[in-house]
Amino acid sequence: MRILLYNPDNGVTRNFMPHLWMFLLQALTPPGHEVLLIDGNAQPMDEAQIAQFVRERNIGLVGIGAMTRMIAKAYRTADAIRTTGVPVVMGGPHVTELADEALGRDGGPRHADAVALGEADETWPQIVNDAVRGELKDIYAPVDSAGKERKPPLNPYPVIPWDSIDLNQFNLVPKAAYPLLKQVGEGWGTFRIIPVESGRGCPYGCEFCTVTGFFGDSIRFRTNESVVDELLLLKARARSEKGQMAVFFIDDNFAINLKRTKSLLRDIIAAKAQVHWVAQISANLLRDEELVDLIAASGGKWVFIGMESIDPVNLKDVNKGFNKPGEYATVLERLAKRNVYAITSFIFGMDNDTTGVAERTLEQVRTWPPGLPIFGLLTPLPATPLYKRLETAGRLTRPRHWQEFIPFTMAHTPLKMSIGEAHAEVKYGWAHAYSPEALAQAVDSLDDQPLGYRINIFLARLCFRGIYFPMMGKLAWLKVVAQNRQTIFKLVKEAFFGRRTRPRSPEVEDSYEDVAARRMSAAK
């Protein structure tokens, strides 16, 4: 049978990274089947085009996975495919929580022939076998023979054949540039960011998050060896095509077990399996100096930190009191001293937020080493404790917000400001963190660093800007380039004529604070 695994586009930006679930299920498919992958972010298709693709390629089963924000598109696609007579099975966090919605048992239309609840590593082979026999069940739940919920142990973990999978749709380098860029350094003909998991689960139970409910609070890890082998495979693939491979460790909290993470990083270093990587780690776990040393030595370049708020009252409200805003600066300095930078994520519209929260947050951000701040709105995802609390309090303004997904739009009323004010705060955050002045400051604050770092932070900021201000066409990019021409000119000039580098010395190790102090006194 030919199977199509499809992930709908997120409706806002082109995702920089493919979704792991597709590769994982492809690797777990019983032998004798051909599995095709389409990520709508990389290969945009409308519903009619996908239905036509399914017909023309003689597909026998379609699997669709989606987060809540893409579920409306996923349902439309499933509807179009089902009109061709091909069965659709859906999985992922949204349909796990709302299986009745997907199966049309809540009074609405039916979109899926079957739903895979929770982690489908062990149910997927059974789904495929049932589909071959034309005997799909409505629901597949990951349970053991006694009917008790069973979480895949991740050991053994399937080998994803990164050396042979067709990854063309996920190359971030334009095709036309391949012949030239493959000659640069070790080769830049391709650049891909690949998702790799080293473990699953998070015990913290933040109120707005689906992870603790979905993956459970018991944490499971792959063996170090299995992760290291995967990295070596990716490195070999990059070398063979004169390109680059970076890895996103998608674990929800990569350092949740410090001892295990350190041992993994040591093994990566010992096996020379280092690639540039990014991972999500909560700030409290980054207090450990040895961990941060190992992060840097094993190829870690960016750490995604869910800071959420600089207000301890807000953090306590959402059960994230383990985040201590007072230590954010120290943690970021600790990373920056090793040339590791942070993607700092903030949520506005929390119950203790008042107008001006964006500027108050930015005042702090400006005193930190340069990073990539991102701003979102508190969103009640189905089945989270937050959803239940707001529903009970009658505060949901769009209880089924996913049926009509609108980016950066609230679905409930915050306590101390209006919905419109919360939206304005998010806009202010993005506009000011990614203005040409802010980009220039980020580049300048790395004055003591080689040009490569400065270009890196500049390009990363340009790309992140697109999360809120989508830059989909050439014209949009040209406009941004024009706005940032001074910084671009400066970097190009340095590339050709060099510049006086200011060496990093103990006296300038706290230079971010100095820079911040200078900036603040200049602003007065």
Which spans of this chain sit near ligand B12 (rule: CB under 6 A)? 10, 12-13, 15, 17-21, 24, 63-65, 67-69, 89-94, 116, 119-121, 124, 195, 197, 209-211, 215, 250, 252, 376, 381
Question: Pick from ligand B12, ligand SF4, none: which does 253 bind, CB < 5 to 8 A by kind?
Answer: ligand SF4
Question: Pick from ligand B12, ligand SF4, none: which does 380 bind, CB < 5 to 8 A by kind?
Answer: none
Alpha helix positions (H), 394-473: 419-433, 436-444, 451-468
Stretch that binds ligand SF4, among 203-211, 369-377, 378-386, 439-447 (CB under 6 A): 203-211
Query: What's at 440, amino acid-wise?
Result: A
Distance in Å from the first CA to the final CA of the chain? 69
CB within 8 Å of 111: residues ≥ 6 apart? 74, 75, 78, 79, 82, 88, 90, 101, 102, 103, 104
Question: Pick from ligand SF4, ligand B12, none: which does 301 bind, CB < 5 to 8 A by kind?
Answer: none
Give Dmax (Cα) for the chain. Answer: 74
Question: Pick from ligand SF4, ligand B12, none: which does 204 bind, CB < 5 to 8 A by kind?
Answer: ligand SF4
Alpha-carbon distance of 51 to 328, in angstroms, equals 49
If one asks whether residue 376 binds ligand SF4 (CB under 6 A), the answer comes out as no
CB within 8 Å of 196: residues ≥ 6 apart? 20, 227, 230, 231, 234, 247, 248, 249, 250
Stretch that binds ligand SF4, among 13-21, 158-166, 199-207, 475-483 (CB under 6 A): 199-207
Task: Select 315 or 516, whichever has its Cβ closest to ligand B12.
Answer: 315
Closest approach, Cβ 201 to ligand SF4, in A, equals: 9
Task: Select 19 or 222, whichever has its Cβ closest to ligand B12.
Answer: 19
Structure tokens at 115: 């739903």
Closest approach, Cβ 205 to ligand SF4, in A, equals: 5
How buried is 71 (Cβ within 10 angstroms: 0-12 exposed, 13-18 middle, 19+ buried)?
buried
> Which residue, among 232, 154, 238, has the nearest Cα to 198 in the 3D structure?
154
If one asks whether residue 209 binds ligand SF4 (CB under 6 A), the answer comes out as yes
Closest approach, Cβ 474 to ligand B12, in A, equals: 22
| DSSP-derived 3-state class of residue 45 | coil
Alpha-carbon distance of 407 to 424, in angstroms, equals 13
- The footprint of ligand SF4 on residues 292-321 (CB under 6 A) is 306
Alpha-carbon distance of 93 to 200, in angstroms, equals 14
Query: What's at 42, amino acid-wise?
Result: A
Closest approach, Cβ 212 to ligand SF4, in A, equals: 5
Question: Pick from ligand SF4, ligand B12, none: which does 381 bind, CB < 5 to 8 A by kind?
Answer: ligand B12
If one asks whether residue 384 binds ligand SF4 (CB under 6 A), the answer comes out as no
Structure tokens at 483: 């706005």
If one asks whether residue 205 binds ligand SF4 (CB under 6 A), the answer comes out as yes
Q: 517: part of which helix (H) or strand (E)?
A: helix 511-523
Task: Select 60 or 201, whichever has its Cβ closest to ligand SF4.
Answer: 201
If one asks whether residue 206 binds ligand SF4 (CB under 6 A), the answer comes out as yes
Structure tokens at 441: 């400051």
Residues pairing with 276 in the sheet? 246
Stretch that binds ligand SF4, among 3-11, 34-42, 209-217, 224-232 (CB under 6 A): 209-217
How buried is 8 (Cβ within 10 angstroms: 0-12 exposed, 13-18 middle, 19+ buried)?
buried
Closest approach, Cβ 170 to ligand B12, in A, equals: 10
CB within 8 Å of 250: residues ≥ 6 apart? 20, 195, 196, 197, 280
CA quadruple 200, 205, 206, 210: dihedral positive or negative? positive
CB within 8 Å of 287: residues ≥ 6 apart? 327, 331
Stretch that binds ligand SF4, among 37-45, 175-183, 207-215, 512-520 (CB under 6 A): 207-215
> β-strand 276-280 against 244-249: which pairing, if any?
parallel
If one asks whether residue 198 binds ligand SF4 (CB under 6 A), the answer comes out as no
Backbone angles phi, psi at 49, to 5 degrees: -65, -40
Task: Select 22 or 516, whichever has its Cβ closest to ligand B12.
Answer: 22
Closest approach, Cβ 343 to ligand SF4, in A, equals: 13
Stretch that binds ligand SF4, among 83-91, 92-100, 171-179, 205-213 (CB under 6 A): 205-213
Question: Pick from ligand SF4, ligand B12, none: which does 205 bind, CB < 5 to 8 A by kind?
Answer: ligand SF4
If one asks whether residue 282 binds ligand SF4 (CB under 6 A), the answer comes out as yes
* Residue choice 16, 75, 140, 204 for contact with ligand SF4 (CB under 6 A): 204
Structure tokens at 91: 């999985």
Closest approach, Cβ 338 to ligand B12, in A, equals: 22
Identify the DSSP state of 161.
Answer: -
Site string for ligand SF4, 211-230 (x = CB under 6 A): xx------------------
Closest approach, Cβ 195 to ligand B12, in A, equals: 5
Closest approach, Cβ 101 to ligand B12, in A, equals: 12
Task: Select 29 or 68, whichever has its Cβ closest to ligand SF4.
Answer: 68
Binding site for ligand SF4 (CB under 6 A): 202, 204-206, 209, 211-212, 252-253, 282, 306
